[in-house]
Amino acid sequence: MRALVILPTSLRHSETPLLRYAFTGISSDTDPRAPHCTPATGVVPRPATPGVSPLWRYQKRHSKRNITKTRAVSLVIQPPAPRFLIPLPQPLSPPRPHLASTVPCNKKKNSYMSSTEVPCTSGVHFLAGSVPVNGTVSPKTRTRDPWRISVPSHPATRSEVMTPDAAESDAPAVAPATPDAEKHERPACTVVGIGASAGGLKAFTKLLSHLPAQTGLAFVLIQHLDPVHESQLTQLLAVTTRLPVIEATDGLMVEPDHVYVIPPNVSMTHEHGALRLAPRADGPAPHLPVDIFFRSLAQHSQNHAIGVLLSGTGSDGTVGIGEIKAAGGITFAQDEQSAEYASMPQSAIASGSIDFVIPPDQIARELVQIGRHPYLRPTPTAQSESEAEGIFEQILSHLRTATGVDFSEYRPTTMKRRIARRMALHKHESHTDYLRLLQSNPAEIDSLYRDMLINVTSFFRDPDVFEALKTTVFPQILKGKSAENPVRIWVPGCSTGQEAYSIAMALLEFLDQHGAPPAIQIFGTDINDEAAVEKARPGVYPPSIEAEVSPGRLQRFFIKVDGGYRIGKAIRDLCVFARQDVTSDPPFSRLDLISCRNLLIYLAPALQHRIIPTFHYALNPDGFLLLGPAETVGKFSDLFERIDRPHNLFARRASPTRPYPFLVGGSFPLTPQRGGTPPAEPVSPIGDLRREADRIIMNRFAPAAVLIDENLEILQFRGNTAPYLQAPSGHATHNILKMVRDSLFLDLRTTIDQAKSKTPPRGGTTFVCPMTRACAG
């Protein structure tokens, strides 16, 4: 067998007994730098455990300066290779590139080490280098001799060599930084990403100094650093905490109860449990290391991610921490009073993505408590899952009663995860206790409702998609368009508006090369009125959008304002935003394009099967449907034809085998089938229609609605119509057009005209139109 090891550059000759003691049972008692050794003894067989180690961290705490010096060590076990590589003492010259046995230990000049290969008769082999591994090594930081080596000698067994007290260690093994690491990952470790800029050192120190030695969490610090000077942040923080502080290296696997610090002049991401480093990107766009790390953490850790924003200038981290929350993670921001520079955490607070706004010392205490919650443990207990299943329906029922939105047909795994997230925030492990909280605290109902509706969006997400629109869709939908026949585009589930605005910008860019633009109408709708639609309308976004929008587009389509950018009036005038529940409210009609990316993935199949035909009904015969990369039209291939597989772009089929009218509440036609003939059976009398309307509206939990006759006289009011209707002065009237508020008059008039033109008069025919802006065409 052979083992590959790098020794610390600071290891003095007087410290070699530590090495001999660490390898008791492998090396002889002679000086390990000597060109000989003896066969290994004292091997203790143990069952094999999954996971291998790419890095072995040597840590020696110097008594005078109390600074932890960390050096990377790689271990490889491969049979057979009876050779012994011996580290030579420093100082040594820098290595030549072709010497595989030479590895840099840090960024200081001439701070390298090399090794010389010497024959050996034992089964152990030492070599400096970072290589694929087959064994596990983990540091033992709580004893005087911090070494523990695990050596697999057979696929089914493991031989372990350790110091006499190493058996007491409970430090987890480190997984390998190799491509195979993705296939053999250990259970997830909750990673706390902590971002800061100006004033960050003080905030880091305050937070880390209040952490105990055992938290079960891994901490990754992302500080804005000077790209040309060496950072001393690792050394400065090491004296403030009981946790090991390590400067990150590429491929380093993240372990609980460790602190990792980003090096200068790099971008760092978290992928499959490992830290990945890449050179800092050149170009005019600002370097946003916090956003880069947070976004990767959200993608790969999901609910096992925690984001923290501390003191700093600018808005780096705002976008990324929003993605952490959308993925099910938990978010913190430093409060304004304790932050030396508050703009960085305040930007995230203003975005609505922060769960806790508290000082760094309180953040540390909250992290310790939340880290113990089952929501952040690698595998939930069967008991907690069983309990959640029994109360899940009760929570959804209570939420439905309070908000009028039925989440029972949303994807249950997503809903359960977001309920569990709220439980973790309140430190509730019992679902029964959380249900009691919902029943007694209206504010928590509102918070859970907003959490259920969180969606991730950005400008020009998947840029290739917008190029596909310019190539495939825009040339087709612009044919025959004019001021009287506008281009009509709908973005359901628009969130805070970035997708709708991106389509508007892309369309204007296309029209630059293809003549004068026709009239354009882009409708953005979302069920979340307060958190989404109200933010989309003014079109104000943080400076961090510079990473998503090119400088040319920023200059042309945006206006620089305090705290970020605002969409220019030319783009805002093309877009109309309104609250709408795509699962139940009437759709828009005569549409040329529907962009519904990453909405259907949150819905259960039964609900998807109702929405896809609705899209077909809403589109013009030559319209297009754009879905997210993980979405499909499923069984409705007779309604849509996929015309661009890489970008998930569909064309509406002109002659479907069966028509699909939109059904209010799932069963009541708003209008007859497009292109169909009136049914031959007798029409139900007015009383039956009213009872049917009662059933529909009650099923939808009494939304604002009215029942009118063919003379537009209101027969019945349903729900709270005050936001939409008001009694006019003068002669009393129940005519809906005289009672509707001015802002809704044109939309309602258009809707009524369309309904009347498609409904044959039958002596008092009645139709239902929910009182929302979404019912406009």
Q: Which residues are catalytic?
A: 197, 224, 316
For residue 303, what is the enclosing H or E element? none
Burial label, 115 (beta-carbon count in 10 A; 0-12, 13-18, 19+): buried
Return the structure tokens found at 256. Answer: 């609980």
Strand partners of residue 35:
none
Return the structure tokens found at 579. Answer: 């609250």
Report the length, in residues, of the chain.
777
CA atoms of 436 and 440, how far apart (whole Å): 6
Write the Ramachandran bin of 427: left for phi over 0, alpha for psi from -120 to 50, otherwise beta.
left
Identify whether the C-beta of residue 570 lies closer than 8 Å to the C-beta of residue 531: no
Identify whether the C-beta of residue 294 lies closer than 8 Å to the C-beta of residue 321: yes
CA atoms of 677 and 477, how far apart (whole Å): 28
Return the structure tokens found at 411. Answer: 């994807």
How far the first Cα of the chain sits from its last, in Å, is 75
For residue 565, what is the enclosing H or E element? strand 564-567
Return the structure tokens found at 327. Answer: 């993925």
CA separation (Å) from 443 to 239, 313, 402, 404, 454? 42, 32, 11, 16, 17
Q: Which of 220, 236, 228, 291 is nearest to 264 (CA)?
A: 228
List b or e across 704-729, with b for residues whose CB sees 16 or more CB atoms inside 10 angstroms: bbbbbeeebebeeebbebeebbeeee
Q: What angle do CA 465, 466, 468 make, to 5 degrees?
A: 65
Pairing between β-strand 558-561 and β-strand 575-579 as defined by DSSP bridges: unpaired
CA atoms of 648 and 625, how far apart (whole Å): 9
Return the structure tokens found at 734. Answer: 């129940």
Cis peptide before 412 (omega within 30 of 0): no
Identify whether the C-beta of residue 616 lies closer than 8 Å to the C-beta of residue 646: no
Pairing between β-strand 564-567 and β-strand 540-541 as defined by DSSP bridges: antiparallel
Identify whether the C-beta of residue 169 lies closer than 8 Å to the C-beta of residue 148: yes
CA atoms of 406 and 401, how far apart (whole Å): 9
Locate the DSSP E strands across 83-229: 83-87, 103-104, 112-113, 115-119, 136-137, 148-154, 157-162, 191-196, 218-223
Identify whether the C-beta of residue 268 lies closer than 8 Å to the C-beta of residue 223: no
CA separation (Å) from 95 to 73, 85, 218, 247? 17, 16, 33, 22
For residue 623, what is the enclosing H or E element? strand 619-627
Identify whether the C-beta of residue 256 lies closer than 8 Å to the C-beta of residue 217: yes
Identify whether the C-beta of residue 176 lies closer than 8 Å to the C-beta of residue 150: no
Strand partners of residue 717:
706
> How crowded is the C-beta side of 564, counted as CA atoms within 13 Å?
26
**Who contacts 613 (Cβ-Cβ below 8 Å, separation ≥6)?**
636, 639, 660
Note every long-range contact of 564-567, with CB atoms under 8 Å and residues 24 or more positions apart, other chains counting: 564/315, 564/540, 565/540, 565/541, 566/538, 566/539, 566/540, 566/541, 567/501, 567/539, 567/540, 567/541
Locate the DSSP E strands across 628-734: 640-644, 649-652, 663-664, 668-669, 705-708, 714-718
Cis peptide before 91 (omega within 30 of 0): yes
